[in-house]
Amino acid sequence: MNDVKLSKRLALVLRHRPDSIGIDLDANGWVPIHTLLAALDEHGISCTRADLRRVVANNDKKRYEVDETTDRIRARQGHSVEVDLALEPTVPPPVLFHGTAHRNVSSILATGLNKGGRHHVHLSPDRDTAARVGARRGAYVLFGVDSAAMTSTGQTFWRTENGVWLTDRVDPRYLNLDAPEQRPVPHRQSQP
């Protein structure tokens, strides 16, 4: 399996469907590397320790984290299965960004940003990153998020180790649609 496919499979297993290869994640999302490799092998996916290390190290968004002491691996964020990432609430920069498909705009302006299938709403620290997130699904728009105002009302934010800002919900009053001319040209981004 090439590295891109392997990385996508890891995302599936470590965030959404550990059962697809018959493994469990612990409460914090970790699985022993030897357990993962054995389960992948049993399901016909060839992956050596070296392959795994390469995919983790080269991953464009540092999606995976290895704990050297306990020899375990987990996804840093993006889970749909129940996990506690044990992140500390953190004060965000005053403005964050969210890129989304153009077709979502009217719904978002009406009801705000909702977490959908994920555990949190994901926000980006800069326009470039938000543009890449939005452009995954074609024509996109950028929202500025008034995180300073949200923080002042006591809303909690967390920052993942790979720099994604998380919160539970963004009410429409804290969203500003970015003017189209301010949109950066996105760079295609693919795993790993």
Residues making contact with ligand HQG (CB under 6 A): 61, 63, 78, 100-101, 104, 107-108, 111, 113-114, 116, 118, 122, 133, 164
Q: How far is the CB of 33 from ligand HQG (least distance, A)?
A: 20
Place of tokens 């804290």: 174
Q: Residue 156 or residue 191: which is nearer to ligand HQG going by CB? A: 191
Of 152, 177, 97, 106, the closest CA to residue 129 belongs to 97
Q: Residue 74 or residue 122: which is nearer to ligand HQG going by CB? A: 122
Q: How far is the CB of 56 from ligand HQG (least distance, A)?
A: 13
Cis link prior to 192 (omega < 30° from 0)? Answer: yes
Q: Residue 51 or residue 171: which is nearer to ligand HQG going by CB? A: 171
Q: How far is the CB of 42 from ligand HQG (least distance, A)?
A: 26
Q: How far is the CB of 29 from ligand HQG (least distance, A)?
A: 14
Q: Residue 46 or residue 176: which is nearer to ligand HQG going by CB? A: 176
As a whole number of angstroms, the distance between CA 50 and CA 53 comes to: 5
DSSP state string for 85-146? --PPB-PPPSEEEEEEEGGGHHHHHHH-B--TTSSSEEEBSSHHHHHHHHHTTSSEEEEEEE
